[in-house]
């Protein structure tokens, strides 16, 4: 399963950067240390079979189970995190549990990313994203979560 998981972790960076580009924020780089800690936490989540934040700042979690699928594309977790954009109110910038994954994905000041993926090989996946510097800093949403420019501009 190593090759499949490697493609998942590698796929997370382009998926993040696709969305970051839409918001005119700089791309992120993969960070080996962040990936190592994200992988350790993903393995832990699989071992306890439970979604639980580690307490580290700058962390996104994703869980998937399918009785039919034993693979997960690298962009699936990032797409799910980004799709919270529909609930974000740019007129009232700030942290909300329903949009915290989205805001971390596009957080302007986050420069590096680590991704960890753990699977039982039977359709269960845990994905952990770790970000540095961490996003979702109270009082800094307006300058870090930028609107997408209007089409044609």
CATH of the domain at 34: 3.40.33.10
Number of CB atoms found within 10 A of residue 68's CB: 5
Number of domains the chain is built from = 1
pLDDT, position 8: 58
pLDDT, position 83: 98
Q: Is there a domain that residue 149 lies in?
A: no
CA–CA distance, 5 with 119 (Å, rounded to integer): 8
Q: Is there a domain that residue 152 lies in?
A: no
Backbone angles phi, psi at 96, to 5 degrees: -140, 140
Confidence of residue 149 (pLDDT cuts 50, 70, 90): confident
Question: SS3 of 63, please?
Answer: strand
User: How large is the average pLDDT for residues 113-126?
Assistant: 93
Confidence of residue 3 (pLDDT cuts 50, 70, 90): very low
User: How large is the average pLDDT for residues 35-46?
Assistant: 96
Instruction: Name the residue range of residue 68's domain.
Output: 2-144
Q: Is there a domain that residue 153 lies in?
A: no
Q: Is there a domain that residue 44 lies in?
A: yes
Confidence of residue 105 (pLDDT cuts 50, 70, 90): very high
pLDDT, position 11: 73
**pLDDT for 58 beyond 50:** yes
> Which residue stretches of 49-128 are H helix?
76-82, 100-106
User: How large is the average pLDDT for residues 112-120?
Assistant: 94
Q: Is there a domain that residue 116 lies in?
A: yes
Backbone angles phi, psi at 26, to 5 degrees: -65, 150
**pLDDT for 152 beyond 80:** no
Q: Is there a domain that residue 150 lies in?
A: no
Confidence of residue 10 (pLDDT cuts 50, 70, 90): low
Cβ within 8 Å of residue 117, ≥6 positions away: 5, 8, 9, 39, 42, 72, 125, 126, 127, 128
């Amino acid at each position: 399963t190593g090759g499949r998981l490697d493609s998942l972790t590698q796929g997370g960076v382009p998926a993040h950067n696709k969305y970051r580009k839409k918001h005119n924020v700089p791309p992120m780089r993969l960070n080996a240390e962040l990936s190592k800690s994200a992988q350790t936490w993903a393995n832990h989540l699989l071992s306890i079979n439970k979604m639980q934040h580690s307490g580290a700042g700058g962390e996104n979690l994703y869980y998937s189970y399918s009785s039919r699928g034993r693979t997960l594309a690298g962009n699936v977790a990032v797409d799910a995190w980004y799709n919270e954009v529909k609930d974000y109110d740019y007129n009232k910038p700030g942290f909300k549990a329903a949009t915290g994954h989205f805001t971390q994905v596009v957080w302007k000041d986050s420069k590096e990313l680590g991704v960890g993926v753990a699977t039982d090989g039977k359709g269960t996946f845990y994905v952990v994203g770790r970000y540095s510097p961490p996003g979702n800093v109270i009082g800094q949403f307006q300058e870090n979560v930028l609107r997408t420019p209007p089409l044609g501009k």
